[in-house]
């Protein structure tokens, strides 16, 4: 935790992670909770130092680990209904992972690698306008994962514009690209992209000093994002439904995140003591 760290971003990530849990339970209000996705995509454009290998460790290693974990879960489900063990497998899972939420990690890695090419104002603005125009004319690709990726491109480019040139260019990029989408292809996702991305810009534009609480929120948000389907599965196995499932999953996902955080911190401490 450093003095320059913005605590509000960590609080925002934590709230968005819980929103992601709520969305995937399909409880009432899930469309509002869906704002979490573009919000998190913008936050993922936070500048980081390091090589491509370091970015791969940060984004692709968790992708591979949790894909393996959820592959075991998927296989257990198929065996339970006496289906072939790998009946659940689809080729697109090489890019999306073995559970629906993991697509955001390889997409964020690709964005992190390509981000330096879009840091010029004309590049980020032009790319966002071009993507919005293509989506307005051609629609959203049906093939997985390209439909999900097209949803995330504008938030990513707005985030790049923000960190490269400030909130003015980011707002211009968001408003112009959103205008093209609203005029050319009216859809509920347009509102989600606009509002979720705008909330992220607001969060990043207001600085709060980092605290132990904000640092905890930041750590928990990462664990919640990758592990929350386990909380939903537990709730469903207990035959909990509707709003009760969403509330249960939110609480259990935080508890599970805390357990994972303590376990990994303990492992790191032991490694340091042995070295």
Angle between helices 52-80 and 212-237 (to 10 degrees): 20
Least confident segment among 43-57, 95-109, 181-195, 242-256: 43-57
Q: Residue 260 and residue 263: Cα distance in Å, rounded?
A: 5
pLDDT above 80 (res 5): yes
Quick one: 58 exposed, middle or buried, by C-beta within 10 A (0-12, 13-18, 19+)?
Answer: middle
Mean pLDDT of the chain: 91
Is the pLDDT at 71 greater than 90? The verdict is yes
Q: Please name which of 140, 197, 208 lies closest in space to residue 170, comparing C-alpha atoms.
A: 197
Q: What residues are paired with 209 via a beta bridge?
A: 6
Among 39-48, 73-82, 260-269, whose mean pLDDT is lowest?
A: 260-269
What residue segments make up the domains of the chain, in order of their start? Answer: 1-34+212-275, 48-206
pLDDT of the residue at 196: 97
Query: Positive or negative, the Cα torsion across 133, 137, 138, 141?
Result: positive
The residue with tokens 């929103």 is 19
pLDDT at 272 over 50: no
What is the spatial distance between Cα 216 and Cα 182, in angstroms, rounded to a whole number? 38
Cis peptide before 145 (omega within 30 of 0): yes
Is pLDDT above 70 for 187?
yes
């Amino acid at each position: 935790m450093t003095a320059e760290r913005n605590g509000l971003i960590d609080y925002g990530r934590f709230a968005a992670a819980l929103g992601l849990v709520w969305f995937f339970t399909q409880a009432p209000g899930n469309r509002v909770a869906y704002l979490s996705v573009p919000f998190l995509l913008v936050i993922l454009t936070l500048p980081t130092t390091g090589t491509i290998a370091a970015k791969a460790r940060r984004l692709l290693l968790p992708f591979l680990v949790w894909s393996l974990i959820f592959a075991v879960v998927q296989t257990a489900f198929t065996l339970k209904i006496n289906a072939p063990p790998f009946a659940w497998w689809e080729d697109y899972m090489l890019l999306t992972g073995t559970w629906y939420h993991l697509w955001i990690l390889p997409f964020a890695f690709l964005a992190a690698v390509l981000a330096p090419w879009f840091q010029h104002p004309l590049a980020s603005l032009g790319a966002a306008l071009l993507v919005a125009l293509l989506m307005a004319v051609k629609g959203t690709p049906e093939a997985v994962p390209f439909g999900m990726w097209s949803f995330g491109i504008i938030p990513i480019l707005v985030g790049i514009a923000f960190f490269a040139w400030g909130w003015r260019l980011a707002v211009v990029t968001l408003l112009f690209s959103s205008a093209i989408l609203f005029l050319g292809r009216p859809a509920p996702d347009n509102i989600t992209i606009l509002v979720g991305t705008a909330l992220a810009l607001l969060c990043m534009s207001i600085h709060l000093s980092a605290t132990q609480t904000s640092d905890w929120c930041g750590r928990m948000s990462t664990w919640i994002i990758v592990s929350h389907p386990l909380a939903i599965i537990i709730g469903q196995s207990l035959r909990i439904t509707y709003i009760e499932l969403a509330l249960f999953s939110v609480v259990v996902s935080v508890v599970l995140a805390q357990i994972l955080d303590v376990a990994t911190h303990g492992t790191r401490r032991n490694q340091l003591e042995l070295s």
